[in-house]
Amino acid sequence: RKEVEQDPGPFNVPEGATVAFNCTYSNSASQSFFWYRQDCRKEPKLLMSVYSSGNEDGRFTAQLNRASQYISLLIRDSKLSDSATYLCAVLPYNQGGKLIFGQGTELSVKP
Amino acid sequence: GAGVSQSPRYKVAKRGQDVALRCDPISGHVSLFWYQQALGQGPEFLTYFQNEAQLDKSGLPSDRFFAERPEGSVSTLKIQRTQQEDSAVYLCASSLHPGPGANVLTFGAGSRLTVL
């Protein structure tokens, strides 16, 4: 079993839809969590960190459930420009700062 | 520099050839990471440097893979006797602080290696 697992994609949604991605992690000692966005043939870029209390940035909301060991990303009112692959990343405790990534979930927003 | 710079952007190698991939991190960034990303997969950790010290190389898939960062800035990932399964994008990332808590990684554009 992979250390970080994500919903398989692709997700195909119409503009304006709300879409949610989940990500589970197996290492209960993980201490920080992130969502990265990766456009086709580009590098991953940090979308947002995920805090225990949940956090929101415009149309994007991230949640963390430590008890169930999953994080989620909600995108409201999706735009064509949201089409990308979304990677969740977990920072395990005491491993020097390396991030462990999930396989990514591809989102395609259609007109 | 303003961002993480990697070269070459594209490399085609014949099976058995040695390749060297370069990463120039953001100036002053202490931590440097190498990841391997196969098509349709997430980045897989290869190795990590804090300044010039290689603190974790647990992700290197075989002894054909070697990385160095001799002066604590530029890093080189070397792959000897390349195999077809080495075909992937090799991503370099750097962060300002070592360790957790402030670990926001900034990635370079990657080096896409194709082994024929």
Q: Tell me how close the Cα of A76 comes to any Cα of chain B, in angstroms.
A: 24
pLDDT of residue A28: 82
Please answer yes or no on whether B91 and A32 come within 8 Å at the CB atom. no
Residue A7 has what pLDDT? Answer: 85
Chain B residues whose beta carbon lies within 8 Å of the beta carbon of residue A98 = 33, 45, 48, 56
Of A94, A99, A103, the CB nearest to B105: A99
Question: Closest residue of B to A99, CA-based?
Answer: B45
| Biggest CA-to-CA distance, chain A | 45
d(CA B38, CA B35): 10
Average pLDDT along chain B, 116 residues, taken 10 residues at a time: 91 97 95 95 94 94 96 96 97 82 80 98
Q: Tell whether B68 lies on the interface with A, counting CB pairs under 8 A.
A: no
Q: Please report the pLDDT score of residue B1 as a whole number.
A: 55
pLDDT in tens, A74-96: 999 999 999 999 999 998 887 77
Record: contact A45-B107, CB cut-off 8 A: yes
Q: How far is CA B78 from the centre of its chain?
A: 9
Q: What is the 3-state secondary structure (H, E, C) of B71-108?
A: CCCCEEEEECCCCHHHCEEEEEEEECCCCCCCCCCEEC
Tens digit of each residue's pLDDT (9 = 90 or more) over A45-64: 999 999 888 899 999 999 99
Is omega for the bond preceding B70 within 30 degrees of 0, making it cis?
A: no
Chain B neighbors of A43, CB-CB under 8 A: 91, 107-110
- Give the Cα separation of B108 and B75 in Å (integer): 12
| pLDDT, mean of residues A27-35 | 87
Q: Are the Cβ atoms of A100 and B45 closer than 8 angstroms?
A: yes
**What pLDDT shows up at residue B100?**
52
Residue of B23, B30, B37, B91 best to disrupt the A interface, most CBs of A under 10 A: B37
